[in-house]
Amino acid sequence: MQLLRRLFASIAGRTKAPPALPAETALRAFGLLRQGDTEGAAAVLAPLRAAASPHIDVLFVSALIHKAKGERAAAVNLLRQCVALRETFGAAWGELGTVLAASGDVEGALTALERAASLEPASAAIQQNLGYMRYRVRDVSGGIEALTTALELDPQLGDAQFNLAEALLAAGDFERGWAQYESRAHLPAAMQRVALPRWRFEPGARIAVVAEQGFGDVILFARLLPRLRSLAASVSVFSYPRLVPLFEQARLADEVRILADIGQATREHYDSYVPFMSLAHVTALRPEDIDPAPYLGARSVDLETWRKRVGPPDGSPQRSLRVGLVWAGNPAHDLDFDRSIPLASLAPIFGVEGISIYSLQVGAGASAHPGLPMIDLTAHLTDVGQTAALLKQLDLVIAVDTLIAHLAGALGVPLWLLCPLRADWRWEIDGAPSPWYRSVRIFRPKITAQWSPVIAELTEALRAQVAQTRAQ
């Protein structure tokens, strides 16, 4: 935004009598856009957009209007016209990069942002976006370099702080990474109902640990509750309701309550609190401290129920492998475009002989499997404890990066993860496969969201797994 302000200050500065009408009008439209009036800004520019050769400033502000309205294809088209007219237009290259990234064209976004950074090296926003995109394509060291530059230019740039944390963790620099991870922007809102002070390493404290972020992240960090218990008098978990039965069974904390109860947590029963995703920071977790052994389980009564529901395992060498499948995450997630996979794309695995596929998909896309032979018992999955009991009946889970993937790993159920190309410290640290879960095997595309070669590899691996099982 600072770059755009300088750009339009420049426009205003070169507007003299007689006025350079297109530039002056573009500046007026930009002012309306900054106030949130996209329709007013578009109306101001409409007469000039109809010209045979619109002014470059008119094209640029028009692109920003389309971007603000979520009309990415139109924005990309106009921004490409801008850089074609003026190849050194750094702001246009930068905006082109952000819109391409939002559209899922990660490689194109990186090219545009590299060009923008070469033209506008002092723009903190461009350096931050460049660093993030480098990280997305697994250039972790390049990402750290650009994000560090962004924070040198603007130490308060929140996105750069968080993205630097993610990159540092992926590089295995846990000391700096966990400290930087405390910059998570959602934290104040997530903790606003907590009336307790943050835990500041006082010995003998009664600590409330408060859930935040996604279910998968909470499951991942639940392994750290015993580390905190060793430093405290007691540890109480305030969790998402669907996770409560799972955590009660695991006995990783002294008490498990639903998250809604945190508003009534007082100093009478608790001394301080820790956000769930701060557990690694407050317990000074290092890569070598990670224990990949399973740490969650299912209640015996639930296991018995699901044994009866699924049927006892067939001891025959010719038995079918029981394979659980999850193909989609939350469609509202910013990065779902390269995480979820259309179920039709996974059709080849249904042709593998010797397997029975169980749907583990709930919510988004759960009913979208016409014509594919799949056993669907998800109506019985009333909480994550029930899901854990079902997973324990399976030989293998194939999943995209969702709660189910983390749950399978934490249970020790063999997991084949369909992992996006982008770097992610949850599944890869310093270039090596995830140390968090012993049972995971990762399948990853070589180009963002191009899953066909991955699914072909997965299908052959499934056939090999069936043959190996039958040969035993």
Per-residue pLDDT of 299-340, as tens digits, reads 999 999 999 999 877 666 667 999 999 999 988 888 888 899
Which residue's structure tokens are 């069936």?
Answer: 466
Sequence-distant (≥ 6) Cβ neighbours of residue 143 within 8 angstroms: 131, 132, 133, 134, 135, 163, 167, 423
Residue 14 has pLDDT above 70, yes or no: no
> What are the strands, taking DSSP E only, across 213-336?
234-239, 255-258, 272-275, 321-326
Domain 188-285 in CATH 1.10.10: no
Burial of residue 267 (number of CB atoms within 10 Å: 0-12, 13-18, 19+):
exposed
Residue 17 has pLDDT above 80, yes or no: no
Residue 354 has pLDDT above 70, yes or no: yes
pLDDT at 151: 98
The H-assigned helical ranges of 353-451 are 384-391, 403-411
Residue 370 has pLDDT above 80, yes or no: no
315's tokens: 């001891």
Which region holds residue 112: left if phi is over 0, alpha if psi is between -120 and 50, else beta? Answer: alpha
Looking at CATH, the fold of the domain delimited by 300-471 is given as Rossmann fold (3.40.50)
pLDDT tens-digit series, residues 190-203: 999 999 999 999 99
Q: Do domains 188-285 and 300-471 have the same CATH topology?
A: yes
CB 283 within 8 A of CB 228: yes
Name the amino acid, one letter, at 189: A
pLDDT at 422: 87
pLDDT at 314: 66
CB 359 within 8 A of CB 376: yes
- What percentage of the chain exceeds 70 in pLDDT? 93
- Listed by start position, the domains of the chain span 2-181, 188-285, 300-471
What average pLDDT does the chain have? 92
Task: Using pLDDT thresholds of 50, 70 and 90, give the confidence band for residue 9.
Answer: low
Q: How far apart are CA 406 and CA 415, in angstroms?
A: 9
pLDDT at 430: 80
CA–CA distance from 96 to each of 44, 63, 101 (Å)? 23, 9, 8
Task: Using pLDDT thresholds of 50, 70 and 90, give the confidence band for residue 15.
Answer: very low
Query: If you average pLDDT over residues 366-391, what whole number do you get?
Result: 89
Residue 366 has pLDDT above 70, yes or no: yes
pLDDT at 7: 56
pLDDT at 16: 47
pLDDT at 50: 82
pLDDT at 5: 57
pLDDT tens-digit series, residues 33-73: 999 999 999 999 998 988 878 899 999 999 999 999 999 99
Q: How far apart are CA 100 and CA 76, in angstroms?
A: 7
CATH number of 2-181: 1.25.40.10
Q: How far apart are CA 207 and CA 279, in angstroms?
A: 11
Query: If you average pLDDT over residues 422-430, what whole number do you get?
Result: 89
Least-confidence region, from 163-172, 363-372, 443-452:
363-372
CB 407 within 8 A of CB 397: no
Query: If you average pLDDT over residues 252-258, what whole number do you get?
Result: 98
Task: Using pLDDT thresholds of 50, 70 and 90, give the confidence band for residue 2.
Answer: low
Name the amino acid, one letter, at 100: L
Least-confidence region, from 4-18, 62-76, 96-110:
4-18
CB 135 within 8 A of CB 167: yes
Residue 183 has pLDDT above 80, yes or no: yes
pTM of this prediction? Answer: 0.91
